[in-house]
Structure 1
Amino acid sequence: MPNTMRKTTTRKSASKAPKAQQHIGIVKNDPYLQPYEDAIRGRHDHALWKLGQLTQGGKQTLAEFASGYEYYGLHKTEKGWAFREWAPNATDIYLVGDFNGWKEKAAYRCKRIQGTGNWELLLDEDKMKHGDLYKMHVHWNGGEGERIPAWCQRVVQDDETKIFSAQVWNPAKPYKWRRKRFKANKSPLLIYECHIGMAQDAEKVGTYTEFKDNVLPRIVKDGYNAIQIMAIQEHPYYGSFGYHVSSFFAASSRFGTPEELKALIDEAHRNGIAVIMDIVHSHAVKNEIEGLGNLAGDPNQYFYPGDRHEHPAWDSLCFDYGKDDVIHFLLSNCKFWLNEYHFDGFRFDGVTSMLYYSHGLGEAFTNYGDYFNGHEDDNAICYLTLANKLIHEVNPNAITIAEEVSGMPGLAAKFEDGGYGFDYRMAMNIPDFWIKTIKEKRDEDWKPSSIFWEVKNRRVDEKTISYCESHDQALVGDKTIIFRLIDADMYWHFRKGDENENVRRGIALHKMIRLVTASTINGGYLNFMGNEFGHPEWIDFPREGNGWSYKYARRQWDLVDNHDLCYHYLGDFDKAMLEVIKSEKDFNSTPVTEIWHNDGDQVLAFMRGEIIFVFNFSPTHSFTDYGFLVPKGGYEVVLDTDAKSFGGNGFNDDSMVHFTNFDPLYAKDGKEWLQLYLPARTALALRLKHEDEEKQNNEQNKTKSH
């Protein structure tokens, strides 16, 4: 019967010309992808197949599938306590802890659920209490050891022994959310990347509460509408910046309690701030006692076997995205943070490492063929696609951002178009461009055409998060933009009145670099904590090499607060810059329209909506009556990098309205000449004034004159 059906279908299709297959969305948008359309469709179909398998052909939703955290781990029930763990290689599991003297006792022995790799223990309410420390004592053929449960939601470290343990967490008064529903403002998304522990002035580990009380108000005042928090998932080594995760469902206790983290997120929401979590699903710490490295005698339970087991550059373990149980673990992890803590989305770390068997190491990625030559991990691609579908199913307004350096096409395109479904991708080319430019080019050789091309270098169907520098550029071994520009003079000549030429140059370029980057975004803009005001110190976490010092693992807010120093100039400019961007309705969707560039003059001008941005990158040449053709009317200055309030010279009179001059050659296009004074190494933003505004201003001026 099946063979007959196939033959009949073949004869019918041969009787008329086959219908041409429509190109999938990302190929429609980029014809250069046509040679790779089969591979693109193959990845798309793989995700559809896996989605059908996990949801049992649609009998359940992906969100219902990704509910493992409600089953596994330790939970308080009406009858007492329920503990479950997936450990197929174990032969015996006991819970040991404060409640039984850390000894194996029959009452705390788990039972294997027949026909599965799951273990379960049901206990009466009096068998453990809130605050008790515990671990699993796992036995397997040939060995045994204490382990922290993979699904546990609370892990703490002993101050003296430094040993980590799981902790029973069932407070008498669970946190009550004041703002239960929140919708992130993405037009545009202005992200303040931050780290809880190093956010305080004091030389110590900061807390969730201190961040809420001391730092969050600064972020609100500065005008950002999102924070991206690093190092939330529990990690044994503080200096790993949170990237060597051990307990994926536990919020790091070194910063405080779950309730304190929830209070921070709640307060952010009450102030209109979205909270994005830096999530690490690209690898895991190798530790066996604290982590997943050898949970029950099988080092490959969660991770790839053989040559793909360890990450060659990160000294960590690589998840096996081909296992349904691993996908279940990771998808459940995404849903957990959204539901339990009300995070508004995720920035996925290390996506490049996930996409390729090589982890992207040593590869140039110079043409499209490099993304479709068979060295891609289809399992990881499928997982990322499903993760995006799940996250937006749980919260349709959620934000997902991919940290990806190779330029994989379709990463931030819609799933329906053959993409992987991220909302944004990090524009990682931009900070690399600025570092290379500052390091290798004289100021006289900065070309506006190259700058303009680089800050707009993105795929038409993918939104990006633009940034000049993130935490990556602030770490020991690298340099922030301000330090590359000024170096040691920051320590000796950053007091007002004592600035030398090197400091004045650095302050001017720091503002211009940020403005040209932020004003050309198509999705969002990101800044790392303190970089907005030119924080002078690099980040160096406590380690043996620095005597376990916290001196450089903090932020010196007193510098920007001290108006005798120059730091506040940069911080004030950053705030004013964001205000200008937010003042233009639907800034993201307004096209970036080039008006003029001249590499010889080092001048660039472009328009977004009713705002004109003009840059003179020349270090020595100022121009009088420099003209551009723009829509006719009057233009008022809304931002001037050279304003004295931002540490400039104040060469322009920013109270003037600049009116265009008629030219009959361009009258039919509605264009006239706008002529401006452009001091060297400065930038202006000007907004078109409407006639009713001009009339109102004229009437006010008349009233004042009388």
Structure 2
Amino acid sequence: MGKNSDLLPIVLRDEWLRPAAAAIARRHGRYLDKLAAVERAAGSIVDYANGYRYFGWQWDAGLEGWWLREWLPGAADVYVFGDFNGWQRTEIRMHRDPAGVWSVFFPAAMYRDRLLHGSLYKLHVHGDNGWRDRIPAYARRVVQDEQTKDFAAQFWEPDAPFDWCGDAFEAPAAGSLLIYEAHVGMAQEREGVGTYREFTERILPVIKRGGYNAVQLMAIAEHPYYGSFGYHVSSFFAPSSRFGTPEELKELVRRAHELGLAVIMDLVHAHYVKNLNEGINELDGTDHLYSPPGEAGDQPYWDSKLFDYGKGEVQHFLLSNVKYWLDEFHFDGFRFDGVTSMLYRHHGYIDFDCRDRYFDEGVNEDAVDYLTLANRLVHDFRPAAVTIAEDVSGMPGMCIPIDDGGIGFDYRLGMAIPDYWIKQLKEVPDEEWNIWEMWSVMTNRLPGVKTVAYAESHDQALVGDKTLAFRLMDKEMYDRMDRASESLVIDRGMALHKMIRLMTIAAGGDAYLNFMGNEFGHPEWIDFPREGNGWSYAHARRQWSLSRNGFLRYSWLGDFDRAMIRLVKKYRVLADGYPYNLLMDERNKTMVFSHGRLLFVFNWHPTASIPDYELPVGAPGKYVPVLSTDERRFGGQERQSMQVEHFSFPVRGDDGQDHPRIRIYNTSRTATVYLRRR
């Protein structure tokens, strides 16, 4: 592959990848071979990913009855039982075909009055691990008995299909994605588990008013342990019944679309729960149905099971799951969780200190193939859909188009940014913050690799860690957040909370994400019900009333977030690409950069306020402040008037040319955005 004409576009655009050109070509060739096999089998990858239309319960109009099918190649015997047959385990035997698919037919004439919408059922499977009562992998609804805490599958066939008529929504285009990450169960203020209906009626309007144009939903696929945040999935085709019915989830999505909000699902295909009673582990009696056999099938860091991405039936299962959520629930895309764990057999727990780490024997090439196929499926089936990769390793090609040799994600998560902010707050005094390091972290992304920037992650909100607000203000949040109190700790925390978020959205990427409640500095942590807290829901909720209380400072933070989002949308900051660096004044901890007609001035110094501070601007004109973290309406002192106009003046540079500059009152711990008026 010595000639340029032989090189894939991903390599032609990046000299650093030239030595890996052969490995990248081989990786791309594997994908092409897999895709060709899929197309030979089904005509297209969209038609291939129809497992949810064959497995599980399927109506046969010709025979007038229901088929139940499940792939269990290692099973010696399989029965189905439920309330429709008095829970007699060995009465209704399923039959195996040569491919290991077990099936049974239920004639409507015989079961019309027994197999009803809402009927409970399980499989009774005889395998190498004995006789076990199991929930099918393709179950579309799973419910838990409140008394016994036992889970069972549910035959779910409403009288009429959900009416999607008129739902023709498309996700926001690149450069405009503003994501509000949310968890349905803890989105309510009352102590308890929130519902899809509550979220639709109460939370979607909050997100809309905030100016966001997408909501990212966590914990949608069924999971037995509520406190797992939805990351130990047991039933991949069943929306969590804790929050309501599938129809209520569909209504949530439809209403979001009516409000102009895309709905992105947090998709967990990196692993699955080990539980035998609730999940797919050892479903046919073997340890290698959906996983590699032995220890290779374990995710030791997460106490869960791995998928065998190289097995055709597993690939089909996962791709069908991708299409299922797009097709049946009209989701507008996915945030793929745990991509780093998928990509590497060591799950990313090494230092990526050289190029070879991305192409050596540590790479799980089957997972690379699967992710590429999944992106191809998503964008073939729903061209406007969005895919986001949670990858901390920096795998080359992650967000490069597939035809150019990449894996095909639309965005990657800028995971280094929240880690950086927490490290700063934990370890470095304000006066020692390195603004060059800050700039580097915010802008450290390859051209063309679209990045979702976020200041703090949902993990930082969990008990044992702290949100930015809680880390900044800590115990003072309990009794000093009323507007009448005076507190230097609260003043500092409020100022930096606003500055950090504005810096992140203005310089950190091409899209922005916020976890619910963090925009107004939600106090304390998330602590799901568990034995250690007496199974309390006191910290598994969001106290929205704090953000609406005019006597508390939380409302100021919420007001600033809305103003920030409005500014970013109005002037298309995210679509502008990299910010243009105009000044880095280390002594005064001041950085100046621009996006189009907007000029951003950040003074990170804890005390240095400088009158008549002279700074360069990108073009001559009149500069007027349009947003400041120090405005009174956001709880600041407004030391600089928002009405003042700053006219540029020329200054002769070393190059003999005149360069425009302005003078401002550069106040400490303040970020101000100026608009250049013509």
TM-score range, shorter chain: over 0.9
The residue number in structure 2 matching 1:412 is 399
1:328 matched to 2:311? The reply is no
1:473 matched to 2:473? The reply is no
Shift of 1:436: 0.9
- After the TM superposition, which residues 686-705 of structure 1 pair with which residues of structure 2 at under 5 Å, given as runs? 686-690=674-678
Shift of 1:417: 2.0
Task: Describe the superposition over 1:125-180 as per-residue Cα deviations: whole angstroms up to 9, x where unpaired.
Answer: 21511010001111235721111110111111111111111101111133212542
**2:188 aligns with one of 179, 189, 200:** 200
- After the TM superposition, which residues 608-687 of structure 1 pair with which residues of structure 2 at under 5 Å, given as runs? 608-630=595-617, 631-663=619-651, 671-687=659-675
The residue number in structure 2 matching 1:700 is none
CA distance in 2, matches of 1:279, 1:238: 16
The residue number in structure 2 matching 1:109 is 93
- After the TM superposition, which residues 506-517 of structure 1 pair with which residues of structure 2 at under 5 Å, given as runs? 506-517=493-504
CA distance in 1, matches of 2:645, 2:194: 48
The residue number in structure 1 matching 2:144 is 157
The residue number in structure 2 matching 1:87 is 72
SS at match of 1:357: coil
SS at match of 1:224: coil
The residue number in structure 2 matching 1:703 is none
Shift of 1:664: 5.6
The residue number in structure 1 matching 2:43 is 60
1:270 matched to 2:253? The reply is no
Shift of 1:671: 4.0
1:146 matched to 2:133? The reply is yes
In the superposition, the TM-score normalised over structure 1's length comes to 0.92
Gaps of 5+ in 2: none
The residue number in structure 1 matching 2:570 is 583
- After the TM superposition, which residues 141-540 of structure 1 pair with which residues of structure 2 at under 5 Å, given as runs? 143-186=130-173, 187-361=175-349, 363-540=350-527
Q: Which residue identity lines up with residue 625 of structure 1 in the other structure? A: D
CA distance in 2, matches of 1:19, 1:36: 14
The residue number in structure 2 matching 1:563 is 550
CA distance in 2, matches of 1:84, 1:197: 32
Shift of 1:342: 0.2
**Is the contact between residue 179 and residue 269 of structure 1 (CA under 8 Å) also seen in structure 2?**
no
CA distance in 2, matches of 1:150, 1:129: 20
**2:7 aligns with one of 17, 20, 23:** 23
The residue number in structure 2 matching 1:44 is 28
**Is the contact between residue 651 and residue 658 of structure 2 (CA under 8 Å) also seen in structure 1?**
no
Task: Describe the superposition over 1:216-242 as per-residue Cα deviations: whole angstroms up to 9, x where unpaired.
Answer: 111000000001100000000001110
CA distance in 2, matches of 1:153, 1:219: 29
Shift of 1:123: 1.0
**Is the contact between residue 178 and residue 266 of structure 1 (CA under 8 Å) also seen in structure 2?**
no
Shift of 1:656: 2.2
**Is the contact between residue 348 and residue 400 of structure 1 (CA under 8 Å) also seen in structure 2?**
yes
Shift of 1:105: 5.5
SS at match of 1:365: coil
Q: 1:132 and 1:153, CA in 2 relative to 1: closer, same or farther beyond 3 A?
A: same
CA distance in 1, matches of 2:580, 2:573: 15
Q: Which residue identity lines up with residue 153 of structure 1 in the other structure? A: R
Count of residue pairs the alignment pairs up: 670
1:76 matched to 2:59? The reply is yes
RMSD of the alignment, in Å?
Answer: 1.7
Q: Which residue identity lines up with residue 65 of structure 2 in the other structure? A: G
Q: Which residue identity lines up with residue 122 of structure 1 in the other structure? A: F
**Is the contact between residue 666 and residue 672 of structure 1 (CA under 8 Å) also seen in structure 2?**
no
**Is the contact between residue 194 and residue 243 of structure 2 (CA under 8 Å) also seen in structure 1?**
yes
CA distance in 1, matches of 2:324, 2:457: 27
The residue number in structure 2 matching 1:121 is 104
Q: Which residue identity lines up with residue 10 of structure 2 in the other structure? A: I
Gaps of 5+ in 1: 1-16, 691-706
Task: Describe the superposition over 1:523-579 as per-residue Cα deviations: whole angstroms up to 9, x where unpaired.
Answer: 210010100000002011001111111111000111111110110111110110011
Task: Describe the superposition over 1:185-240 as per-residue Cα deviations: whole angstroms up to 9, x where unpaired.
Answer: 13321001100000011110000000111111110000000011000000000011
The residue number in structure 2 matching 1:693 is none
Q: 1:638 and 1:93, CA in 2 relative to 1: closer, same or farther beyond 3 A?
A: same
Q: Which residue identity lines up with residue 340 of structure 2 in the other structure? A: T
**Is the contact between residue 412 and residue 450 of structure 2 (CA under 8 Å) also seen in structure 1?**
yes
SS at match of 1:482: helix
In the superposition, the TM-score normalised over structure 2's length comes to 0.96
**Is the contact between residue 290 and residue 307 of structure 2 (CA under 8 Å) also seen in structure 1?**
yes
Q: Which residue identity lines up with residue 405 of structure 1 in the other structure? A: V
**Is the contact between residue 179 and residue 270 of structure 1 (CA under 8 Å) also seen in structure 2?**
no
Shift of 1:18: 8.7
**Is the contact between residue 652 and residue 659 of structure 2 (CA under 8 Å) also seen in structure 1?**
no
CA distance in 1, matches of 2:4, 2:325: 44
CA distance in 1, matches of 2:18, 2:295: 33
SS at match of 2:76: strand
The residue number in structure 2 matching 1:4 is none
**Is the contact between residue 270 and residue 339 of structure 2 (CA under 8 Å) also seen in structure 1?**
yes
Q: Which residue identity lines up with residue 61 of structure 1 in the other structure? A: S
Q: Which residue identity lines up with residue 568 of structure 2 in the other structure? A: I
The residue number in structure 2 matching 1:10 is none
Moved more, 18-27 or 579-588: 18-27
**Is the contact between residue 291 and residue 306 of structure 2 (CA under 8 Å) also seen in structure 1?**
yes
CA distance in 2, matches of 1:181, 1:669: 54
Shift of 1:92: 2.1
